[in-house]
């Protein structure tokens, strides 16, 4: 399944379309300092601690490794099977955008709950945008999945939680399904614009405070060398 955008590239585009373009066409130019890589590792550890609460969860990434384009089909196959299931790194594709959800739980009745896990003590605007683009893609992709169970009428997305740290490595949750739904029209406009950027020439964006907010851009060194 082909795609142009991913969740991370969409979020990058909200900060800087040039950084998003480079993420697609020249990711080797990115530089992540050791403290950023350490933060990524802590985030993965926190995410794993939540996934461990689903002992029978199926890890899509472990099965398919780097074959990311195959994630949506395997995800659909597993969600369409009868019974309860929990999936890790489940893939969904809609409007040329691929998103991977941290944890997707489906009950035997077809009720779907999604968890986005963040190792932070508060829910930032970036996290809300993260969940919103996932909700946009997943809410459009789910109806196409036909459940092979006569007792299940289909899949219903009931909750989309962001899981964050209570300050003691425990979990707090906030349901963002309603505010995410309200962002769909804006998200679609952003997607259309970002696809044009990706398929065009490298945009010219002068360096400014946006290079460090909400995160330090990994392409600052590249832009600085070019005198931008």
pLDDT score for 166: 96
DSSP string, 188-225: HHHHHHHHHHHHSPPP-----GGGGSSS--TTHHHHHH
Please give the angle made by the CA atoms of 15, 50 and 20, to the nearest 5 degrees: 15
What pTM, to 2 d.p., does this model score? 0.95
**Helix 184-199 / helix 7-15 crossing angle, nearest 10 deg:** 90
Paired with 103 in beta bridges are: 88, 115
pLDDT score for 151: 72
Paired with 91 in beta bridges are: 100
pLDDT tens-digit map of 4-28: 999 999 999 999 999 999 999 999 9
pLDDT tens-digit map of 28-66: 999 999 999 999 999 999 999 999 999 999 999 999 999
pLDDT tens-digit map of 89-110: 999 999 999 999 999 999 999 9
pLDDT score for 1: 64
pLDDT score for 148: 79
């Amino acid at each position: 399944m082909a795609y142009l955008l991913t969740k991370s590239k969409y979020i990058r585009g909200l900060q800087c379309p040039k950084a998003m373009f480079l993420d697609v066409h020249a990711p080797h130019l990115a530089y992540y300092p050791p403290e950023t890589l350490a933060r990524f590792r802590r985030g993965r550890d926190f995410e794993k601690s939540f996934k461990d609460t689903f002992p029978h969860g199926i890890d899509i990434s472990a099965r398919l490794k780097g074959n990311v384009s195959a994630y949506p089909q395997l995800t659909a196959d597993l969600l369409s099977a009868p019974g309860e299931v929990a999936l890790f790194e489940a893939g969904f594709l809609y409007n040329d955008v691929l998103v991977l959800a941290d944890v997707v739980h489906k009950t035997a009745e077809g009720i779907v709950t999604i968890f986005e896990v963040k190792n932070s003590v508060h829910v930032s605007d970036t996290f809300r945008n993260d969940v919103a683009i996932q909700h946009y893609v997943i809410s459009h992709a789910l109806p196409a999945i036909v459940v092979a169970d006569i007792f299940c009428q289909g899949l219903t997305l009931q909750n989309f939680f962001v899981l964050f740290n209570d300050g003691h490595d425990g979990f707090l949750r906030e349901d963002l399904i309603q505010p995410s739904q309200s962002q769909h029209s804006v998200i679609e406009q952003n997607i259309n614009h970002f696809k044009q950027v990706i398929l065009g020439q490298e945009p010219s964006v002068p360096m400014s405070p946006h290079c460090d907010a909400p995160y330090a851009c990994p392409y600052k060194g590249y832009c600085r060398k070019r005198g931008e």
